[in-house]
Structure 1
Amino acid sequence: MSAIQKIIFEDFPLRNGVVQSNIMLSYQLFGQPIGTAPLVLVNHALTGNSQVTGENGWWKSLIGENKTIDTNKCTILAFNIPGNGYQDEENQVENYKDFTTYDIANLFWKGIDSLKIIQVFAVIGGSLGGSIAWEMAFIRPNTIENLIPVATSWKASDWLIGNVLIQDLILNNSKNPIHDARIHAMLLYRTPESFQKKFNSKLQNENGMFQVESWLLHHGEKLQNRFQLSGYKLMNHLLKTTNCFKPLNQSDVLRSLTSNIHLVSVDSDYFFTANEIKTAFLEIKTEKNNVFYHEIKSIHGHDAFLMEYEQLNTILTPIFN
């Protein structure tokens, strides 16, 4: 496993004017040494981390030796969003409402600069990680060759903002906040059809508990055992802060982007809907020719970007070949 490395920034200004002192950015590198191969930045989602490949890698079906994103041919860089708690419980962020996806994107660029990286072959991320990828592209429109936001959008929808509010209320008011928030979130990440196919209303035991209830309780306990409350509050809050055009003109920003843009949606996703991603594609298409729309077909909703590996590999293979 690639060792976690750390960079400390003593004074980091946030978009709202707050100066964050001693913010730590941790990261992992996989594959080829920096400067010897195309650099691929992988941004993790809400409950993810920098371990993107290897035995415990959350995207190991996509990234690794002889995989679609091949560690024999690429340098893979993955940052941890500060406060996500991965192997560092001390790096907590209490003032979570001061942060936005813009700030995380800006921090990632500072990390890239610290590593003396000049050009980025691709930035890919799913869900929250994809929103941060969008922000990174707009901060430096000439640095990313291929921008690949998966199951995400460049602006938080009202539906998403509403659900973030519910999650925040649970996290701040429940007696069992991470556990209960995760159970609610799992209902957003899947679909009724996905649940029905998986459980079919079957009982788990003679006590009358349904399999779906047991499964949801298990996911609540699992996340509770590995996530800090402050980290979950931050990750949830970040979801609603994405607005890549604030305070910029959309047409001007899009025209300035040199990246090839590959938008990937899931047809059954109602967290970041296929319709809003398709709408973004059509808006970009009026300003740029090198934009492409791809759609994963699945009954599993938002989580399909972590489940439908064959479809995602098919979409990404031409880009990384």
Structure 2
Amino acid sequence: MPPIVMPTVAATPRIFELGLPDLALARGGVVRSHRVRGWWWSREGDTPENPAKDVPTVLLVHALTGSAVAGGKDGWWDPLIGPGKALDPAHHRLVCFNNLGSCYGSSGPGVEGFPAMKTVDLTSLDISRAILLALDKLGVGRVHLTTGGSLGGMVTLTLAALAPERFERILPFATSVSASAWVVGWNHVARQILRLDPGYPENVGRGLEIARQLAILTYRAEPGLDARQPRPAPGTDAGYPVQSYLEHQGKKLRNRFAAQAYELQLAAMDHHDLTQPLPGDTKPAISRVRAATLVVDVDTDQLFTPAQAAALAAQLRAAGAKVERETVASIHGHDAFLIEWKTLGPLLTKALHLQAPGP
């Protein structure tokens, strides 16, 4: 019996850029000179310039302030990505794009051809349509698995609604069919904090730091904060660790992100609502999804609750999709999808092997 030869994996992931067709935005405005930055890791010989036809694609969608760099150095899901890990480039082509309207290389505020901030608004439909254009440009038709958390989960669902024939499996993590008043309310307060900054809109500093601190408290949960940021020992004057932790997180975001991009990604979350029909249709957009779906929530998530995950699963089942559901037990709240690596790996493996719908 001849030996089994495993595919050779490219030594490191790579970054690439694509020029895309102009994109009319859902709430007005057109993105011209449209471009997207992407991240790619696959077998040797399978490249963005010449994608192999026999390599299945896993599409990763980042969250609010993420980038296309999903794995490798500084990758937001690096513990899950690489040879021998849950997402193995020997078996799947791993692709991620920087969201439209973000600030890590795709068309966004300050980039030539992007609409002026005073007139532009962004939705999960816009981000999803930009991703579809990017997949078209690469020549990638069907996608084996699409996954993302939070805003990335919203975009994952939206992609499967926009092009149900292209998305075989989805794993929406810590997300919902539409943004609740609770989510929109927190985003509203964050936006007002940004606008109080003396440098708004081009040179926001402290406002972005405080908006991030507010957000961090919604991304985490009380048990996790108590465990990682315990009260100081009695009789010390060291201050409360949670205060320095929040200041650190705020400064980190200020140093790597732009306030105008932050506003647009918040808007994309606010406007996410797949209970409404797509333009020209009459049925709820969520009813278009045909992908085999693994809905995953976190038991301590205060932004996207298990009850919302149950509602999402029910809506997908009512539309005829095959749906499974898992709840992650975590002390860390919403951000468990960026922390609970030992739990996430098996969930991704399960999603990769869901039975896809027929053609």
TM-score between both structures, scaled by the size of structure 2 = 0.83
How many angstroms apart in 1 are the aligned matches of 2:217 and 2:120? 24
- 1:44 is aligned to 2:62: yes
**Equivalent of 1:133 in 156, 159, 166:** 156
Superposition pairs for residues 52-91 of structure 1, below 5 Å? 52-86=70-104, 91=111
**Equivalent of 1:261 in 285, 293, 299:** 293
Whether the 8 Å contact between 1:204 and 1:214 is mirrored in structure 2 is no
Q: Cα–Cα, structure 1 residues 180 and 114, in superposed 2: closer, same or farther, change >3 Å?
A: same
Secondary structure at the counterpart of residue 32 of structure 2? strand
**Residue identity opposite 1:309 in structure 2:** W
Matched with 1:177 is: 207
Superposition deviation, residue 290 in structure 1: 1.1
How many angstroms apart in 1 are the aligned matches of 2:187 and 2:242? 23
How many angstroms apart in 2 are the aligned matches of 1:51 and 1:102? 22
User: How large is the Cα RMSD of the aligned pairs?
Assistant: 2.4
Q: Cα–Cα, structure 1 residues 45 and 113, in superposed 2: closer, same or farther, change >3 Å?
A: same
From the two aligned structures, give the one with the greater strand fraction.
1
Could you give the per-residue CA deviations for residues 85-142 of structure 1, whole angstroms, max 9, x where no partner exists? 2268964865285211101101100110011111110110111111011111110111
Q: Which has the larger radius of gyration?
A: 2
How many angstroms apart in 1 are the aligned matches of 2:101 and 2:288? 32
Give identity over the alignment, percent: 29
**Equivalent of 2:37 in 14, 26, 44:** 26
**Equivalent of 1:187 in 217, 241, 247:** 217
Superposition deviation, residue 65 in structure 1: 1.1
Secondary structure at the counterpart of residue 4 of structure 1? strand
> Could you tell which deviates more after superposition, 226-235 or 10-19?
10-19
Q: Cα–Cα, structure 1 residues 276 and 221, in superposed 2: closer, same or farther, change >3 Å?
A: same
Whether the 8 Å contact between 1:260 and 1:290 is mirrored in structure 2 is yes
Superposition pairs for residues 1-321 of structure 1, below 5 Å? 1-9=12-20, 11-32=22-43, 33=46, 34=51, 35-86=53-104, 91=111, 94-95=116-117, 97-175=120-198, 176-202=206-232, 208-248=238-278, 253=285, 256-288=288-320, 290-321=322-353
Secondary structure at the counterpart of residue 128 of structure 2? helix
Secondary structure at the counterpart of residue 33 of structure 2? strand
Whether the 8 Å contact between 1:52 and 1:58 is mirrored in structure 2 is yes
**Residue identity opposite 2:339 in structure 1:** M
Q: Structure 2 stretches of 5 or more lacking a match?
A: 1-11, 199-205, 354-359
How many angstroms apart in 1 are the aligned matches of 2:282 and 2:158? 13
How many angstroms apart in 2 are the aligned matches of 1:81 and 1:317? 25
Whether the 8 Å contact between 1:79 and 1:108 is mirrored in structure 2 is yes
Superposition deviation, residue 254 in structure 1: 5.2
How many angstroms apart in 1 are the aligned matches of 2:13 and 2:336? 27
How many angstroms apart in 1 are the aligned matches of 2:123 and 2:105? 23
TM-score between both structures, scaled by the size of structure 1 = 0.92
Would you say how many aligned residue pairs link Structure 1 and Structure 2?
321
**Residue identity opposite 1:225 in structure 2:** N
Secondary structure at the counterpart of residue 66 of structure 1? coil
Q: Structure 1 stretches of 5 or more lacking a match?
A: none
Secondary structure at the counterpart of residue 20 of structure 2? strand
